[in-house]
Amino acid sequence: MFYTPIRAALVSYGISSRTFHAPFLTTLPGFSFDAVLERNGSRAEESFPSIVTHRTMESLLNDDRIELVVITSPNDTHFPYAKAALEAGKHVVVEKPFTIRSSEALELCALSRSKGLVCSVYQNRRYVSDFRTMQDILEKGLLGKLHTYSAHYDRYRPDPRTYGLWREHEVPGAGVFYDLGPHLIDQALVLFGKPRAILADIRAQKSYVNVDDCFDVWLDYDFLRVSLHASMLVREMGPRYQLHGTLGSFIKSGEDPQEDLLKSGVMPVGADWGQEDPSIFGLIHTAIDGRVIREAYPSLPGDYGDFYRNLYRTIREGAPLSETPEHGHDVIKMIELALQSSDSRSWIPVEGLLSY
């Protein structure tokens, strides 16, 4: 297949850019990593000597070669940087969370439409093995009618961060809920659509932090009840996902291998990329054609690169965009409703979503 590479620039070169974006911009044939915004230092050039390092956003946006701007800078810069890039005629990818406020997300939705430009939110947790496997199980109806869905995103980080320190300070968009909440909320919306109501408990557990580091969110879908949880003080991990239906259950532990591989410097190539080790395949216990089974259910492989493959087809061929700015808006709207619920300690009706 012939590709006309999309020339891309990264805004900042921290862990997110190095782990989730640069490896795909440099290995997928549809993209060319040509520039970066680094206020200080030239870390990107050390790994990619041919790129151009810009010191200001204005300089980067004046680079006529660049078609796509990928924004991985701190959360409170997402909206102004994305707006500036769209106004400069660039396609945009924004790391989650898309924006801090739903009003900002609405503005980006309207601006990208008026400019005829692609604006996408990087929801890479749609492209992991466990999520794809759950989609497969639900689409096949292997558990019957689902009544309980539980998702955990726990870690054990009792000490202050050594990187991304802004996340533990009282600045807009800081805290674990804005960090991990978008993953779990987006997955629930993709699987089940718009809930009737939301209830949340968002709090700080570690004594030295001034922002949230733990949350529980419950979504009401009538017969189905969804529970989303994250904490930074869980040393012994339990199941990441539990699905229970009228016919059976699926229990999944372990972690999709892609992030750890990318952090260790492994490039996302090869036929076995994103395949889980069989030791962490999920357990399915259900009835199929009247026969009860209880066995490991092989995980489908994950591939973050599918995000960029769809993005290429959208920009070059006009294909439908998988992660739209409206999806980004809906996640932020759900975050706002959850914060309102946590403050009021009450169920809040879910209204104002754009995609559901």
Whole-number average pLDDT of the chain: 96
- How large a percentage of the chain has pLDDT more than 90? 92
Tokens of 179: 């960090």
If you search the block for the tokens 């619920």, which residue do you land on?
341
- Cα 308 to Cα 227: distance, rounded to the nearest angstrom: 30
More confident residue, 290 or 281: 281
Strand partners of residue 68? 8, 91
User: What is this structure's pTM?
Assistant: 0.95
- The answer on 229 and 175 residing in a single domain is yes
* pLDDT at res. 210: 84
Residue 2 has pLDDT above 80, yes or no: no
Residue 164 has pLDDT above 80, yes or no: no
Tokens of 97: 């969370």
Domain with 312, as residue range(s), is 6-124+307-322
DSSP run (H or E) holding 102 = helix 102-115
- Cα 174 to Cα 147: distance, rounded to the nearest angstrom: 33
The CATH code of the domain that includes 294 is 3.30.360.10
Average pLDDT over residues 231-241: 95
Tokens of 215: 């949350």
Determine the length of the chain: 356
* pLDDT at res. 188: 98
- The answer on 93 and 41 residing in a single domain is yes
Assign 162 a pLDDT band (cuts: 50, 70, 90): low
- Assigned domain for 103 exists: yes
Average pLDDT over residues 166-194: 90
- Assigned domain for 356 exists: no
The CATH code of the domain that includes 75 is 3.40.50.720
